[in-house]
């Protein structure tokens, strides 16, 4: 453009081509939607059931089933150790495992923001495919919607899962008994700190990596061993402390933990100290706690330690006789403090 003999050029970066980003038309249900499904979504997930292009999946199962659903709004979409796609699969697989079920099928609901890079979408879907394959679960049905630019944050995912219940007895807090030990499968707090560090640009070197992983394999092995597993829980939002308080309140029992036995990596501890957070209230996405009779503790530990995802399993406490709903944690000086659920918005949008 010129005027009065002067020339200048706008230095704005070029906008991505329309065929490189999600468009509103991709959610219309017409040809653009069909192209998105045919060229991006179905090839990325590579699941034969999706190629049937039916309104749903026809499934067959015998015996009791577990059914769970979860939504994922993590920011950023990609973080050290994982991304929203892997998180959506692993989180739902783990919820089924906590019910004493073998994960079988997942549904996937995608909420995409106009302008989202198709390369980003492909990458997230590829992670979903890889996580599903690793967990032995199938992505059998789904849906995709598109919202206007600024009405979402790139991508939200909702997954629902169905699994075959294999636990020989109910897995529930009301089965806890005084003397049961609390087994933790590994170190805590990594997922929450990995996401927060990536979001805020803390630049830790090396970066804190999320523990995002499926835990179904060691859980199913534990259930098949004959060990009396009374309760299972994955300490996601609110961390280990919130999970323990929820269980103690539901079971109307007391739980005593030993802080010296709870593994927290040095980098996670340093990050929590920097932010004024308690590692016991920071989310995990690849850990679980199991309550078993004290007589079964050593066999359970040996079994869990044979699996990479639970190689760091250890006893961290026990169910005790005390005030119903009380969870205490003995510190390094032998002084016990009461644990409570996370309050407020200290760690928003970590899953």
Q: How far apart are the first and last CA of the chain?
A: 48
Q: Where are the beta strands (DSSP E) in the chain?
A: 2-3, 6-7, 65-72, 78-79, 82-83, 101-113, 138-147, 155-165, 181-184, 231-233, 254-258, 289-292, 314-320, 327-330, 336-338
Report pLDDT for 11. Answer: 47
**Sites in the chain below the pLDDT cut of 70:** 1-19
pTM as predicted: 0.93
Domains in the chain, start-ordered, CATH in brackets?
18-53+61-165 (3.30.1330.10), 173-338 (3.90.650.10)
Report pLDDT for 322. Answer: 86
Report pLDDT for 344. Answer: 72
Report pLDDT for 1. Answer: 40
């Amino acid at each position: 453009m010129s005027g009065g003999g002067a020339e200048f050029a706008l230095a704005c970066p070029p906008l991505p081509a329309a065929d490189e980003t999600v468009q509103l038309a991709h959610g219309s249900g017409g040809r653009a939607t069909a192209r998105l499904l045919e060229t991006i979504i179905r090839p990325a997930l590579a699941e034969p059931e999706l190629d049937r292009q039916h309104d749903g999946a026809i499934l067959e199962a015998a015996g009791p089933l577990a059914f769970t659903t979860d939504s994922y709004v993590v920011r950023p979409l990609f973080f050290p150790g994982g991304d929203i796609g892997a998180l959506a699969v692993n989180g739902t697989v783990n919820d089924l495992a906590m019910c004493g079920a073998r994960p079988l099928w997942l549904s996937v609901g995608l909420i995409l923001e106009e302008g989202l890079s198709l390369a980003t979408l492909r990458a997230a879907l590829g992670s979903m495919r890889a996580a599903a394959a690793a967990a032995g679960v199938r992505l059998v049905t789904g849906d995709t919607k598109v919202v206007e630019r600024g009405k979402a944050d790139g991508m939200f995912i909702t997954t629902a899962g169905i699994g075959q219940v294999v636990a020989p007895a109910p897995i529930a807090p009301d089965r806890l008994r005084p003397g049961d030990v609390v087994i933790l499968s590994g170190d805590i707090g990594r997922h929450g700190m990995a996401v927060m560090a990536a979001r805020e640009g803390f630049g830790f070197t090396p970066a804190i990596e999320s523990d995002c992983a499926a835990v179904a394999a060691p859980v199913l092995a534990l259930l098949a061993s004959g060990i009396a597993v009374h309760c299972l829980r994955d300490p996601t939002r609110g961390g280990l402390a919130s999970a323990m308080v929820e269980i103690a309140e539901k079971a109307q029992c007391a739980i005593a933990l030993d802080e010296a036995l709870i593994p927290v990596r040095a980098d996670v501890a340093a990050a929590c100290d920097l932010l004024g957070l308690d590692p016991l209230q920071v989310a995990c996405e690849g850990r679980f706690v199991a309550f078993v009779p004290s007589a079964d503790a050593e066999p359970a530990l040996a079994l869990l330690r044979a699996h990479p995802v639970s190689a760091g399993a250890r006893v961290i406490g026990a169910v005790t006789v005390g005030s119903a709903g009380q969870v205490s944690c003995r510190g390094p000086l032998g002084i016990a403090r009461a644990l409570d659920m996370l309050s407020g918005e200290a760690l928003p949008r970590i899953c």
